[in-house]
Amino acid sequence: MRGVVMHAPGDVRVEDREDPRIIEPTDAIIRVEAACVCGSDLWPYRGADKVHDRPMGHEYVGVVEETGDQVRNVGIGDFVVGSFFASDNTCEICRAGYQSRCVHAEPVGAIGTQAQYARIPLADGTLVATPAMPDADLVPGLLAASDVLGTGWFGAVAAEAGPGRTVAVVGDGAVGLLAVLAARRLGAERITIFSRHADRQKLAREFGATDVITARGDEGVAEIKELTGGLGAHSVIEAVGTQESMMQAIRSTRPGGHVGYLGVSHDVRLPGDELFFSAVHLHGGPAPVRRFLPDLIDLVWTRQIDPGKVFDLTLPLEEAAEAYKAMDERRAIKPLLHP
Q: Which residues bind its own copies (CB under 8 A)?
A: 92-93, 96-98, 100-101, 103, 229-231, 241, 243, 246, 254-256, 261, 264-273, 275-286, 288
Residue 325 CB, shortest distance to its own copies, in Å, is 27
Give Rg (Cα) of the chain: 19
Nearest to 33 by CA among 166, 109, 142: 142
Residue 194 CB, shortest distance to its own copies, in Å, is 19
Closest to its own copies by CB, 258 vs 334, is 258
Phi/psi for 324 (5° steps) reads: -60, -45
Closest to its own copies by CB, 293 vs 332, is 293
Closest to its own copies by CB, 195 vs 265, is 265
End-to-end alpha-carbon separation of the chain, Å? 10
CA–CA distance from 206 to each of 160, 174, 183, 309 (Å)?
21, 13, 13, 10
Total residue length of the chain: 339
Residue 324 CB, shortest distance to its own copies, in Å, is 23
Closest to its own copies by CB, 131 vs 187, is 187
Closest to its own copies by CB, 163 vs 230, is 230
Residue 242 CB, shortest distance to its own copies, in Å, is 9
DSSP string, 311-337: EEEEEEGGGHHHHHHHHHTTS-SEEEE
Residue 308 CB, shortest distance to its own copies, in Å, is 27
In angstroms, rounded to a whole number, what is the distance separating the alpha carbons of residues 188 and 71?
40
SS3 118: strand
Residue 241 CB, shortest distance to its own copies, in Å, is 8
CA–CA distance from 112 to each of 29, 41, 332 (Å)?
13, 11, 21
Closest to its own copies by CB, 23 vs 279, is 279
